[in-house]
Amino acid sequence: MPTRYIPSTKAAQAAATQADPRWAAVVARSAASDETFWYSVQTTGVYCRPSCASRTPRPENVRFHASCDDAERAGFRPCQRCKPRQATPLSHHAAWVTEACRIIETASPGEAPTLDALAARLGLSASHLHRVFKQATGLTPKAYAVAQRAHRLRSALDSQPTASVTDAIYGAGYQSSSRFYEQSAQVLGMRPSHYRARGATQDIRFAIGQCSLGAILVAQSDRGICAILLGDDPEALLRELQDRFAQAHLIGGDAAFEALVAQVVAFVEAPSLGLNLPLDVRGTAFQQRVWRVLQAIPVGQTASYAEVAQRIGAPAAVRAVAQACAANALAVAIPCHRVVKSDGALSGYRWGVERKRALLTRESATETTQPLVEKVA
């Protein structure tokens, strides 16, 4: 009888390692696989993350581990080069998040990948991807996909004036027009037909007055106050309102509206009075999350951009928080002036740093901790 060939233990182990899909990640030094598994090398006695820059070990000497604790219980010590016990470098996180965003953005309408599918494509666990994505963007992958769907709808309404609104809704990936219309105020800030018309069917009442900070413009839609603008030039404020509601029907305020403006001015002069008026808040999902945090900062107190980012659960989104503050069109009602740099210094303010300083100085004189806005529509 012919002698049966029995491979050596080393050859069998090498073959088993090479057949494991994790080995390809080790050979490629895949950063996307970091924190999904670790590998140890018997000849050195150390364990590494897949992206470790050390020389690729021989496959027969490699063992895979589900965690650092597993590797250490097996008798291996952490590599001093890739430091597997330390958090994954932010550059790796950024690469994952960038690729995840690309996958979501290029997905066919209505076919946004699930969290599990997205994680599988990146070679990550779903929980890890969810965590790093939210840290980097301030949104979960699902919320980002929802925002992309809304972006497609806005683009369709802008670029296809002859297409029906229903076609634009389904073309953007919404599965039900009736369900979309229930959410249209949150997605667009108004009904789709109003959005397409740039507010042409909306009446916006406004008035311009004076306060200790200069000229002030107050505007109101049928949902609530939609703009409080400050400046030196009343005409510039009016142009800004016209740009914001390009085709809306702007109506000068009557006596009743002047009384509302007087209430807003009184609030600017004495923030402790509060402002119990509905607001028509229009912004992206991320901006509205930031603005809700700002509304919770008590009169006389401040928070840093980094602290606001922490409070919305997105500690890495400091720059995005600053951009959301700059996009606020409801001066004082959404108190972006209460957000300062980490060292307490004043940074940019849409209506001028001197106005920011004046507001903070005025508020520091009050002892109230009443929230700034009591009712938000």
Give, to the nearest 10 degrees, the angle between helix 141-159 and helix 177-188. Answer: 90
CA distances from 158 to 84, 149, 194, 196 (A): 49, 14, 12, 6
Q: Which of 48, 52, 82, 325 is catalytic?
A: 48
- Report the alpha-carbon distance of residue 87 to residue 49 in Å, rounded: 11
Structure tokens at 103: 């996958």
Is 325 designated active site?
no
Is 226 designated active site?
no
- Report the alpha-carbon distance of residue 323 to residue 287 in Å, rounded: 9
Structure tokens at 217: 């413009």
**Local structure of 277: helix, strand or coil:** coil
- Sort residue 254 into left (φ over 0), alpha (ψ -120 to 50) or beta: beta
CA distances from 41 to 15, 58, 206 (A): 16, 8, 72
Residues 264, 268, 273, 274: is their CA dihedral positive or negative? positive
Contact 149, 107 (CB under 8 A): no
User: Which residues form the catalytic set?
Assistant: 48, 336
